[in-house]
Structure 1
Amino acid sequence: MKRHVGKRLVQYALRFKKTILIALLLLTVAVAAELSGPLIAKRMIDKHILGIENPWFETDQGEEAVTYKGEWYKRSDHFASGEEKGKEVRILQVGRDYYFVDEPIPFDGERTVEDGDIMISKDSNTVTLEAEKLTNNELISFYKPEFEPLIWLIVLYFGLLIFASFFEYGQGLLLQTSANRIIQNMRTDVYAQIQRLHINYFDNLPAGKVVSRITNDTEAIRELYVTVLATFFTSIIYMTGIFVALFFLDVKLAFITLAIVPILVIWVIVYRRFASKYNKVIRTRISDINGMINESIQGISIIRAFKRSSQTEKEFETLNESHFTYQNKLLNLNSLMSYNLVNILRNITFVALIWYFGGASLTAASVVSLGVLYAFVDYLNRLFQPVTNMVNQLANLEQALVAADRVFELLDEKGEDVADGELKPYEGNVAFNNVSFAYKEEEYVLKDLSFTAKKGETVALVGHTGSGKSSIMNLLFRFYDNKKGTITIDGKDIQSIPKQHLRQHMAIVLQDPFLFTGTIASNVSLDDPSISREKVEKALNDVGAEELLKTLPKGYDEPVIEKGSTLSSGQRQLISFARALAFDPAVLILDEATSNVDTETEIVIQNALDTLKKGRTTFIIAHRLSTIREADQILVLHQGEIAERGSHEELMQKQGRYYQMYQLQQGKTIERAV
Structure 2
Amino acid sequence: MKTGRRLWNYALQYKKLLIWAVVLLIIAVGTELTGPFIGKKMIDDHILGIEKTWVKASADDPGAVRFRGHDYVREDRLKPGADKTGEAHIYQVGAGYYFVDRPVSFDGNRSVSDGRLTISNGKESRSYPAITLSRQEIFQFYRPEIKGLLTLTAIYAGLLMFSVCFHYGQHYLLQMGANRIIQRMRQDVFSHIQKMPIRYFDNLPAGKVVARITNDTEAVRDLYVTVLSTFITSGVYMLGIFTALFMLDVRLAAVCLLIIPILMIWSVVYRKYASVFNQKIRSINSNINAKMNESIQGMPIIQAFRREKETMKEFEELNEAHFRYKNKMLSLNSLMSHSLVNVLRNLAFVGLIWYFGGASLSAAGIVSIGVLYAFVDYLNRLFQPVTGIVNQFSKLELARVSAARVFELLQEEETEEEGAPADRKAEGTVEFRDVSFGYRKGEEVLKHISFTAEKGETVALVGHTGSGKSSILNLLFRFYDAQKGDILLDDKSIYGMSRQELRSHMGIVLQDPYLFSGTIGSNVTLDDQRISLEQAEEALRQVGAASLLQSLPKGIREPVTEKGGTLSSGQRQLISFARALVFDPAILILDEATAHIDTETEAVIQKALQVVQEGRTTFIIAHRLSTIRHADQILVLEKGRIIEKGSHDELMAQKGQYHQMYELQKGTAKSAV
Aligned partner of 2:80 in structure 1 is 81
Aligned partner of 1:650 in structure 2 is 650
Instruction: Look up the SS of the partner of 1:10 in the other structure.
Output: helix
Distance in 2 of aligned mates of 1:384 and 1:534:
68
Instruction: Look up the SS of the partner of 1:467 in the other structure.
Output: coil
* Equivalent residues in 2 for 1:522-601, closer than 5 Å: 522-601=522-601
* Equivalent residues in 2 for 1:209-228, closer than 5 Å: 209-228=208-227
Deviation at 1:86, TM superposition (A): 2.1
Instruction: Look up the SS of the partner of 1:414 in the other structure.
Output: coil
Return the letter of the residue paired with 1:254.
A
Return the letter of the residue paired with 1:637.
L
- Moved beyond 4 Å, runs of 4+: none
Aligned partner of 1:27 in structure 2 is 25
Aligned partner of 2:12 in structure 1 is 14
Aligned partner of 2:54 in structure 1 is 56
Distance in 2 of aligned mates of 1:30 and 1:141:
38
* Equivalent residues in 2 for 1:420-435, closer than 5 Å: 420-423=419-422, 424-435=424-435
Distance in 2 of aligned mates of 1:420 and 1:57:
91
Return the letter of the residue paired with 2:595.
S
Give the 3 Å change call, closer, same or farther, for CA 668–153 of structure 1 in structure 2: closer
Instruction: Look up the SS of the partner of 2:9 in the other structure.
Output: helix
Aligned partner of 2:313 in structure 1 is 314
Contact 1:5 1:401 (C-alpha < 8 Å) held by counterparts: yes
Aligned partner of 1:472 in structure 2 is 472
Contact 1:111 1:120 (C-alpha < 8 Å) held by counterparts: yes
Deviation at 1:367, TM superposition (A): 1.8
Distance in 1 of aligned mates of 2:427 and 2:492:
11
Aligned partner of 2:394 in structure 1 is 395
Distance in 1 of aligned mates of 2:420 and 2:289:
38
**Unpaired runs of at least 5, structure 1:** none
Deviations 1:256-303 (A, max 9, x none): 011111001100110000000000000001100000000000000000
Distance in 1 of aligned mates of 2:25 and 2:499:
49
Q: Are 2:513 and 1:513 aligned?
A: yes
Distance in 2 of aligned mates of 1:357 and 1:510:
82
Deviation at 1:236, TM superposition (A): 0.6
Contact 1:515 1:564 (C-alpha < 8 Å) held by counterparts: yes
Distance in 1 of aligned mates of 2:304 and 2:479:
34
Deviation at 1:364, TM superposition (A): 4.7
Contact 1:520 1:575 (C-alpha < 8 Å) held by counterparts: yes
Contact 1:5 1:404 (C-alpha < 8 Å) held by counterparts: yes
Distance in 2 of aligned mates of 1:422 and 1:555:
31
Distance in 1 of aligned mates of 2:249 and 2:212:
51
Aligned partner of 1:634 in structure 2 is 634
Deviation at 1:171, TM superposition (A): 0.2
Contact 2:65 2:141 (C-alpha < 8 Å) held by counterparts: yes
Contact 1:197 1:416 (C-alpha < 8 Å) held by counterparts: yes
Deviation at 1:533, TM superposition (A): 1.2
Aligned partner of 1:438 in structure 2 is 438
* Equivalent residues in 2 for 1:292-311, closer than 5 Å: 292-311=291-310
Structure 1, 431-440 or 551-560: larger mean CA deviation: 551-560
Return the letter of the residue paired with 2:477.
F
Instruction: Look up the SS of the partner of 2:149 in the other structure.
Output: helix
Deviations 1:344-375 (A, max 9, x none): 11110011011112223334542211111111
Distance in 1 of aligned mates of 2:404 and 2:15:
22
Contact 1:110 1:365 (C-alpha < 8 Å) held by counterparts: no
Distance in 2 of aligned mates of 1:575 and 1:136:
96
User: If the length of structure 2 is used for normalisation, what is the TM-score?
Assistant: 0.98
Distance in 1 of aligned mates of 2:266 and 2:170:
28
Instruction: Look up the SS of the partner of 1:158 in the other structure.
Output: helix
Aligned partner of 1:661 in structure 2 is 661
Deviations 1:536-558 (A, max 9, x none): 11101111101234222222111
Instruction: Look up the SS of the partner of 1:197 in the other structure.
Output: coil
Deviation at 1:669, TM superposition (A): 11
Q: Are 2:128 and 1:140 aligned?
A: no
Return the letter of the residue paired with 1:4.
K
Deviations 1:414-453 (A, max 9, x none): 0035424332321111000000001111211100010000
Contact 1:663 1:669 (C-alpha < 8 Å) held by counterparts: no
Distance in 2 of aligned mates of 1:339 and 1:668:
76
Distance in 1 of aligned mates of 2:537 and 2:81:
101
Deviations 1:72-94 (A, max 9, x none): 11101111322332221111111
Deviations 1:615-660 (A, max 9, x none): 1110000001011000000000011111101000000011100000
Instruction: Look up the SS of the partner of 1:667 in the other structure.
Output: helix
Contact 1:549 1:571 (C-alpha < 8 Å) held by counterparts: no
Distance in 2 of aligned mates of 1:441 and 1:134:
101
Return the letter of the residue paired with 1:459.
V
Give the 3 Å change call, closer, same or farther, for CA 73–417 of structure 1 in structure 2: farther
Distance in 1 of aligned mates of 2:194 and 2:177:
26
Aligned partner of 1:188 in structure 2 is 187
Aligned partner of 2:614 in structure 1 is 614
Structure 1, 190-199 or 351-360: larger mean CA deviation: 351-360
* Equivalent residues in 2 for 1:117-136, closer than 5 Å: 117-136=116-135
Contact 2:284 2:322 (C-alpha < 8 Å) held by counterparts: yes
Instruction: Look up the SS of the partner of 1:421 in the other structure.
Output: coil
User: If the length of structure 1 is used for normalisation, what is the TM-score?
Assistant: 0.98
Distance in 1 of aligned mates of 2:242 and 2:663:
91
Structure 1, 357-366 or 94-103: larger mean CA deviation: 357-366
- Pairwise CA RMSD of aligned residues? 1.2
Instruction: Look up the SS of the partner of 2:439 in the other structure.
Output: strand
* Equivalent residues in 2 for 1:350-361, closer than 5 Å: 350-361=349-360
Deviations 1:79-133 (A, max 9, x none): 1322332221111111121111111111111111121111111111111111111
Q: Are 2:454 and 1:454 aligned?
A: yes
Aligned partner of 1:113 in structure 2 is 112
Return the letter of the residue paired with 2:492.
K
Aligned partner of 2:207 in structure 1 is 208
Distance in 1 of aligned mates of 2:80 and 2:429:
104
Distance in 2 of aligned mates of 1:206 and 1:408:
18
Structure 1, 324-333 or 555-564: larger mean CA deviation: 555-564
Instruction: Look up the SS of the partner of 2:91 in the other structure.
Output: strand
Distance in 2 of aligned mates of 1:449 and 1:661:
21
Give the 3 Å change call, closer, same or farther, for CA 607–380 of structure 1 in structure 2: same
Distance in 2 of aligned mates of 1:288 and 1:312:
14
Aligned partner of 1:414 in structure 2 is 413
Contact 2:40 2:371 (C-alpha < 8 Å) held by counterparts: yes
Distance in 2 of aligned mates of 1:87 and 1:70:
13
Aligned partner of 1:156 in structure 2 is 155
Deviation at 1:410, TM superposition (A): 0.3
Instruction: Look up the SS of the partner of 1:666 in the other structure.
Output: helix
* Equivalent residues in 2 for 1:82-97, closer than 5 Å: 82-97=81-96
Give the 3 Å change call, closer, same or farther, for CA 129–318 of structure 1 in structure 2: same
Contact 2:419 2:498 (C-alpha < 8 Å) held by counterparts: no
**Unpaired runs of at least 5, structure 2:** none
Distance in 1 of aligned mates of 2:87 and 2:305:
104
Instruction: Look up the SS of the partner of 2:467 in the other structure.
Output: coil
